Structure 1
Amino acid sequence: MQWRRLRVALAGLLAALMVPMQPAHAHEVRPAYLQIDEVGPGRYQLLWRTPMLAGMRLPVVLRLPDEIHNVVAPVAQELSDSLVERQVIDVGAQGLAGKRIEFVGLQATVTDVLVRVQMLDGTHSTTLVRPSQPWVDIATSLGPLAVAGAYLSHGIEHILFGFDHLLFVLGLILIVRNTRMLLWTVTGFTLAHSITLSLATLGVIHVPGPPVEACIALSILLLASEILRRQRGEPSLTASWPWAVAFTFGLLHGLGFASALIDIGLPQGDVPIALLAFNIGVEVGQLAFFAAVLGVMQLARQFRIPDIVERRLRTVTAYGVGVVAAFWFVERLTAFWA
């Protein structure tokens, strides 16, 4: 009975590891984005960006109120990862306040829409629209708490759907056996990616996204090889200095987080709040994953699995992480040179 449970657990582990191997980039679920800027009395400029995956546009259509008409017809521009449409609308003297904008088809996806509204008087709002409620009621300003809530939520979703970052954290958990050292290691990783996330988002440093994504995949592959070295009893830099390795690679992963935040943009006037909230959201999601993995490992100990079986499970997991990381590295390197 015990071996049967082990076989089932192993099969589930392998299936879970293979999920991220679908052709995708680091952050599979990027939000759609709607920016509304008031350019004159009753006139607004709209920028509507929908993500593309494998050449297919997200099946979401922007629906404006019937009384709104175009001043400048929509102009579309296809980018490598999204389709951008720009237009100018006239809503009359009453303005957009109180109007409802719908996102038809959003309820059939797992993607959110980030909506930013900027008025001529300087008031602004930022709202995160979810598939369960695919519309937004425009207000003149939602205040800093609403901005913080929107970016906190997006930070959590970004890390939980960022499989490459989660696999790196999983690798750290597998290679560091001491709980105290593991906490120091995760803290180093958190501190490092917080630094580069802030610097890159604020424009202090700029590194092209494609090389960063490829290097992130390579960092996971190197970490998987370090796990296997430790399993064989060979010297391992990560096992000896896990916090230093986590800090170094954390700087790289922070650039990956920044690319997602730059994609959705920061609300003018609320940059510190949005940046802090997004970073906190990333940490909340990371801690949730950390706690879930440790909880599963603690539960597995209740079955009193023999040491040899536990070592084999660690080895299989390390190979699974390495295979996924190698696949990502080749895919992203190929896409970069293409």
Structure 2
Amino acid sequence: MNRWLGALLLMLLGASPALADELRPVSIQFEQRDSHGWRVAWKQPLSSPADDRFAVPILPQGCRIVGEPLREMAALAVIGSAEVACSGDVAGGSVGWPRLTGQGDAILRIAPLGRSEQVYRLTAAEPTATIAVRPVAAQVWRSYFVIGVEHILAGWDHLLFVVALVLLVAQAWPVVKAATAFTVAHSLTLAAVTLGFAGLPQRPVEALIALSIVFLAVELAKGGRDTLARRLPWFVAFVFGLLHGFGFAGALHEIGLPEGQVPAALVSFNLGVEAGQLLVILGVLILRAALCRTAPMAEVPALRLATYAIGITSSFWLIERIAG
């Protein structure tokens, strides 16, 4: 158990700021212009400003790029586009990305004329997708649900917020209520941003998200004292959830939402986030209960160490994001 606790603490202390709120898959759009003409556009994340990789999506057989692909540099990403000529129907053909490795993934959107838009999540194990004649209705739901789960499990700042909330509240049902309030709040903000009713610059949002984790770490450091976060954890979670929703909106902006299926994508993404949160809550509660049962004297020092780890990590993110 002590080994598990040590691994958790090392994970928290080693959380890379660059991965704090990252949802940066490759984004590919394959859009039909007319009976034979298509356009492919893609956004390829880069690991650093010195990274000069430039890949081109895999296209169906019978399709070829016309002329040279256009290339434009953006912040830690390269944006490419090209006109494509296809002979015959592309249904049954494969579209994908040639350089998916490890945990990397891609979001592929295919927009044929007169047919429903198709959305696929590509992985290193399945780097291509087959264009369907008639896409399955649950396709968008499934893809964006998985994206939501992954964003909680791989988005360090949202993950640390949930972990800190669980450690602060400790009891299962109040934690679930607080996490649900967090989900409801960020769902409202995310929908408002997506539909154009609200918006904030991403840099201050990221700094404020880090500050929300610092706040919970400070509350944890106060021990058993009566505080607002301990009395009304659902209220604190709801208020900060509104803020975290702007972060989710920035992440979804990176991959885009399927035209005509935005509500389905938003709902399934939020359901995925809630499912991911419940997995994290369950894992932390089980770990803490096992620690209390096997080594009760270690609970207080372990909680203190976890508090310091969360506080140091989130403070570092806060300073880095303010400094730019």
The TM tier, using the shorter chain, reads: over 0.9
CA distance in 2, matches of 1:291, 1:27: 22
Answering whether residue 320 of structure 2 is matched by residue 326 of structure 1, we say no
**SS of corresponding position for 2:162:** helix
CA distance in 2, matches of 1:219, 1:212: 11
CA distance in 2, matches of 1:12, 1:71: 52
Answering whether residue 275 of structure 2 is matched by residue 291 of structure 1, we say no
Q: CA deviation at 1:85?
A: 0.2
**SS of corresponding position for 1:53:** coil
Which residue matches 2:92? Answer: 98
CA distance in 2, matches of 1:177, 1:103: 43
Which residue matches 1:145? Answer: 138
Which residue matches 2:208? Answer: 215
Q: CA deviation at 1:270?
A: 1.2
User: In the TM superposition, what whole-angstrom CA distance separates every residue of 1:124-173 from its partner, at most 9, and x where no partner exists?
Assistant: 21111111011122224413211111111111111110111111111111
CA distance in 2, matches of 1:333, 1:95: 51
Which residue matches 1:238? Answer: 229
Is contact 1:25–1:332 with CA below 8 Å preserved after alignment? no
Which residue matches 1:313? Answer: 302
Tell me: CA distance 1:302–1:178, structure 2 relative to 1, closer, same or farther (3 Å). closer
Which residue matches 1:135? Answer: 128
Which residue matches 1:172? Answer: 165
CA distance in 2, matches of 1:310, 1:80: 44
User: In the TM superposition, what whole-angstrom CA distance separates every residue of 1:179-222 from its partner, at most 9, and x where no partner exists?
Assistant: 44333322221221121122112222111111111110111011
Query: In the comparison of the two structures, how many residue pairs are matched?
Result: 323
Gaps of at least 5 residues in structure 2 are: none
CA distance in 1, matches of 2:53, 2:20: 17
Which residue matches 1:256? Answer: 247
Overall identity of the aligned pairs, in %: 35
Tell me: CA distance 1:305–1:103, structure 2 relative to 1, closer, same or farther (3 Å). same
CA distance in 1, matches of 2:96, 2:176: 44
Is contact 2:93–2:131 with CA below 8 Å preserved after alignment? yes
Is contact 1:57–1:82 with CA below 8 Å preserved after alignment? no
1:63 to 47, 58, 61: 58
1:54 to 48, 51, 66: 48
Which residue matches 1:196? Answer: 189
Select the structure with the greater relative contact order (CA < 8 A; seq sep ≥ 6): 2
Q: CA deviation at 1:72?
A: 4.4
CA distance in 2, matches of 1:73, 1:49: 17
Tell me: CA distance 1:124–1:185, structure 2 relative to 1, closer, same or farther (3 Å). closer
Tell me: CA distance 1:102–1:166, structure 2 relative to 1, closer, same or farther (3 Å). closer
Answering whether residue 176 of structure 2 is matched by residue 183 of structure 1, we say yes
Is contact 1:165–1:253 with CA below 8 Å preserved after alignment? yes
TM-score, normalization: structure 1? 0.89
Tell me: CA distance 1:149–1:60, structure 2 relative to 1, closer, same or farther (3 Å). farther
CA distance in 2, matches of 1:41, 1:246: 51
**SS of corresponding position for 2:97:** strand
CA distance in 2, matches of 1:256, 1:30: 13
Gaps of at least 5 residues in structure 1 are: none
2:20 to 13, 16, 26: 26
Is contact 1:144–1:270 with CA below 8 Å preserved after alignment? no
**SS of corresponding position for 2:57:** strand
Task: Kindly report the root-mean-square deviation, in angstroms, between the aligned alpha carbons of the 2 structures.
Answer: 2.0
